[in-house]
Chain A
Amino acid sequence: MVGDVAMKRFFVRAALLGLTLAGALPAGAAGQAVTLGDDDRRTLETVVQKARAADVRPFATLERVVKDWLVLPPGRRHGALLSMQLQAMGSAGLAPLIDALAIGGGELDGGLCGGLDPRVRQAVEVALVEALGNLDDARARPVLLGAFTEGRSPAVRAVAARGMSRTCDDAALGLLLARSSDAAVEGLGRCLRPEAAERLAALLGETHDENRAGPIAAALGRLASDLLWSAPPRRDDPAGPRIRLVAARALVAASARFDDDEPVRSLAIVRHPDTLALIDEAHRAADAAGRSRLDRAKSRIRLPR
């Protein structure tokens, strides 16, 4: 009984997120198997072969989960549901996910997804990439990099970037820094390195588009969050103060330039102790509209007592 009810409530959750998904998928942009370099392909083929030899059941589980999802009524076939079901496989899902996305190749190009509506096919791809990224396994990185760099849909690239940023090694950081897409912004906001903050600050300073500034400011706020850097594992990380100050400066500047709530909201998330001083400094240099926006920002910031 509880299991049934659990699914019913999830139905609601999935419905909400499904709206986002549906809006994100450009019609006609079909997914294809992720291309790997020769070395990565050989390495991952070995990973998949060994896993399959050890226990074939996770591969069957993945296939079953996707097939079960595909036969849901269209109104309930939400990518969020599939993603959560794939993630529930845990680490056992690594090899099947890599196989489905990059090695077998047949799953996306045919097999499971052959003949599907492109939107549905990409929903599967998004869910596979997201599930793979959330495993936090370095072996998944080449697949995530491939999914991020190839000409895929923004939704696929966003989840790939998010997955890469969970570890954010030099290779991932390099790729994220080299791009300015929404997906890159999403990834940079989770990459706990000063270079990420500086890149986001630069992107925020360059843009004159309020719709673009909001997501960048949100990413910057997340990256420089007060509690994120005051919690024990990161409290003494020298990157923290640098990231936070870069973020606070950029967000104050953006708060003077945009009416959108996000820069001010992100300032409240960062809660840098110098926020009010930075606002005062910016206030002196701002025009009348900027001063008005900064006054509003100042009234909304609650700093630690």
Chain B
Amino acid sequence: MLLLVSPGCDDSTEGSEADAGPVVYLLVDTNRDGVLSTDDDPGKGAWSAERGAVFLANIDDDDEDGDDDASDDDVDGEADELDLARVEITPWLEAPEGAHGTLEIDEAAGDRIRMFRQDGTAWSEVEAPIALDAAALLAGTAFAIEGLGMMEDDEWDGRVTLTLTVHEAAAKAGEKPVAPILVQSAVLRQAPMVIPWNTAPTLRVFVSDINSFAGAPLIGAIDNATADVDIESFIIDALDPDYVFPDQWTQDFFEIGASYLPSEGGLHRMGVGIRLKPPQGSGFFVDKEIYGPDYAAIYPFPNSYDPFLDGSSLDYGGNLEVVPPHDGYPVGRLLVGSTPARHADPTFFAMLEAQYAQGPVLEPDTEWLIVGHIDEVVSFVADPSSPRGWRALLQAPREAWDLLQAAVNADPAAADLVLFDNKAWIDFSTGFPYSAERTIGQVLADADLAVAQDVAQARADELREFLKDEVGLTDEDFVELPLLWWTFAASPSGGLRHVAYSPSVVNLLTFNGVAIVSSVFGPVQSGQDILEQVTRQRLEALGLDVRFVDVWDLYHRLDGGVHCGSNVDRTLPPEAAWWEMSR
């Protein structure tokens, strides 16, 4: 009997004769170049940041039959073939008659993947253990793997171990089983869903049209800006009855992530639309408009989800952001606002954590906010002049207050300047508006507002320290934007919660060098909006094309901003290698 090993092999291959190559190789794309070759042999028995093959959860709908491609036992066309990870057993040209082998899948992963075997140009499903006769070993055999669903929790980390065992001859009746001449293992791992960050390349920008005049400015601003930078805009018909009610909170009802498979031409992308805002109807947009070829759709919440007892608004897209790439996190890190007392839905959160490339999820405290979304208090924008290539935007309520005070100090008559000129809040009992106009003097005299700025500043400072501790940011990585807050006093027994009083300039939309920002409607002195001009200067200093837009009626006075009213489908930059994470 001849026992063979491959040069430089690891413990994935058992053998004893150092000078000869193995009779066959079990190949997966260990070196992540999209091509199977013997270069993939070294290190294939383990999965690490450096080496290890990848496969996709094949849950898009390339054949547009309305079902996930992985829901049947067929390969659904050429496009679907691209979603499969390849496995090959190389030919054993001198395979003797009686030679045979077995390809097995580890038990834990067996029901999470499907294997196909190639016969000419056709693929057919095979179930493990897969028997290989002498002819198959002689000719070599090609397989492909698809994942059947997303990683959902910590019960499975996405790893699959394939083990090939080859025997030179069959055991004769009545004799001891013949020892194998070769045993090789290869480990693959299901690609996580990665959520691209604000500064990642933009594919298209979404905004909902609820057929309201108040929504027109944002739609127009997005339409113009996307045209200027040659990006697709997607205006969602929010009046579609399938969505139950017209929802202008485009950021909240879905998120688009993606999984990436190394391929010969670079990363092969499968978008993943996440239906959020459970159980409301607007999230069906994902199923209706996103799902299809190269786009999956998932709903990561339990069927028993109760919006009043479960995570509620903490499960909206506005509460799911990404810190851009930094040391140890080549595709950034998820940022979800929460507290132990008020937390995102456990099923949803477990799914996020299971996508191992961007975790553990960072959870800054957003308990102090009415809505509770992380995008109310921090944004990340591109800054080519920064060593990181990006900076974090934080609110600066004290500075906003000080700007008002400074205006009065410089000229007492400024106390009569008006904030929110010609703007109105909404009376929730009648739907009728009432004036939001207040002078600087009235604002500065308002005890509740004064305290709100101090509380909001303390919270901003805490968030800054949190990001410094967890991400390694320094003070230079932050840009502060003046923003006033107020409290909502209708919580009878808990602490007061906060929401932006002046339109939120932190809650902005940015892509391709453009920043679309809520018009502030601050007091105007010498022809300049005291608050807005500071925001403009600071964002323009980052090289951004700053475009203010009036979102007061449809967004600000209903507790949101530009970011809340928009959404973006982004992709990883070509150089991003999600597997290089330090976990």
Residues in A lying within 8 Å of B, measured CB to CB: 1-10, 12-13, 15-24, 65, 75, 79-81, 83-89, 126-127, 130, 134, 154-156, 158-159, 162, 192, 215, 218, 221-222, 225-228, 230-234, 261, 265-266, 268-271, 299-300, 302
Q: Which of A1, A215, A302 contacts B461 (CB 8 A)?
A: A302
| A2-B212, A227-B401 as given contacts; A12 in contact with B451, CB under 8 Å | no
Known: A19-B308, A88-B429. 14 other contacts (CB 8 A): A6-B428, A12-B371, A17-B490, A21-B491, A127-B492, A215-B495, A222-B455, A225-B455, A227-B450, A227-B454, A232-B441, A232-B445, A233-B445, A269-B457
Smallest CB-CB A-B distances: 8 pairs = A3-B431, A24-B493, A85-B429, A9-B558, A20-B494, A268-B458, A227-B450, A88-B429
Interface centre among A22, A226, A227, A230, by most chain B C-beta atoms within 10 angstroms, is A227
Q: Which of A8, A80, A154 contacts B491 (CB 8 A)?
A: A80
Q: Which of B429, B462, B488, B494 contacts A265 (CB 8 A)?
A: B462
* Cα(A221)–Cα(B450), bound, Å: 12
* Cα(A270)–Cα(B313), bound, Å: 31
Q: Mark B433-469, 1 if CB is under 8 A from A, else 0.
A: 0000000010011110011011101110110010000
Inter-chain contacts of B494 with A (CB < 8 A): 17, 20, 24
16 A-B pairs whose Cβ atoms sit less than 8 Å apart in the complex: A1-B210, A5-B246, A5-B248, A12-B559, A24-B493, A155-B493, A156-B492, A221-B455, A225-B454, A228-B447, A228-B451, A230-B450, A232-B441, A269-B454, A299-B465, A300-B465
Inter-chain contacts of A81 with B (CB < 8 A): 428
Q: Which of A7, A22, A232 contacts B444 (CB 8 A)?
A: A232
Whether A8 and B453, one on each chain, are in contact in the complex, defined by CB atoms closer than 8 angstroms, is no
Complex: chain B residue closest to A268, CB-CB:
B458
Check: B312 CB closer than 8 A to any chain A CB: yes
* Cα(A215)–Cα(B447), bound, Å: 19
Whether A228 and B312, one on each chain, are in contact in the complex, defined by CB atoms closer than 8 angstroms, is no
| SS of B interface (majority) | loop
Whether A7 and B428, one on each chain, are in contact in the complex, defined by CB atoms closer than 8 angstroms, is yes
Q: Which of B247, B313, B371, B428 contacts A85 (CB 8 A)?
A: B428
Inter-chain contacts of B488 with A (CB < 8 A): 13, 17
Inter-chain contacts of A225 with B (CB < 8 A): 450-451, 454-455
Check: B560 CB closer than 8 A to any chain A CB: yes
Interface centre among B212, B308, B398, by most chain A C-beta atoms within 10 angstroms, is B308
Check: B211 CB closer than 8 A to any chain A CB: yes
Inter-chain contacts of B462 with A (CB < 8 A): 261, 265, 268, 300
Inter-chain contacts of A156 with B (CB < 8 A): 492
Check: B430 CB closer than 8 A to any chain A CB: yes
| A5-B210, A9-B560, A18-B308 as given contacts; A228 in contact with B450, CB under 8 Å | yes
| A80-B491, A265-B458 as given contacts; A15 in contact with B312, CB under 8 Å | yes
Whether B492 and A79, one on each chain, are in contact in the complex, defined by CB atoms closer than 8 angstroms, is yes
Give min CB distance, B347 to chain A, whole Å: 19
Inter-chain contacts of B461 with A (CB < 8 A): 268, 300, 302
Check: B486 CB closer than 8 A to any chain A CB: no
Complex: chain B residue closest to A134, CB-CB:
B489
* Cα(A84)–Cα(B428), bound, Å: 7
Complex: chain B residue closest to A182, CB-CB:
B493
| A5-B212, A232-B441 as given contacts; A10 in contact with B558, CB under 8 Å | yes
Inter-chain contacts of A162 with B (CB < 8 A): 489
Whether B453 and A10, one on each chain, are in contact in the complex, defined by CB atoms closer than 8 angstroms, is no
Whether B428 and A10, one on each chain, are in contact in the complex, defined by CB atoms closer than 8 angstroms, is yes
Residues of chain B in range 342-378 having any CB-CB distance to chain A below 8 Å = 342, 370-372
Inter-chain contacts of B245 with A (CB < 8 A): 4, 8
Inter-chain contacts of B445 with A (CB < 8 A): 231-233
Complex: chain A residue closest to B495, CB-CB:
A218
Complex: chain B residue closest to A304, CB-CB:
B398
Inter-chain contacts of A221 with B (CB < 8 A): 454-455
Check: B514 CB closer than 8 A to any chain A CB: no
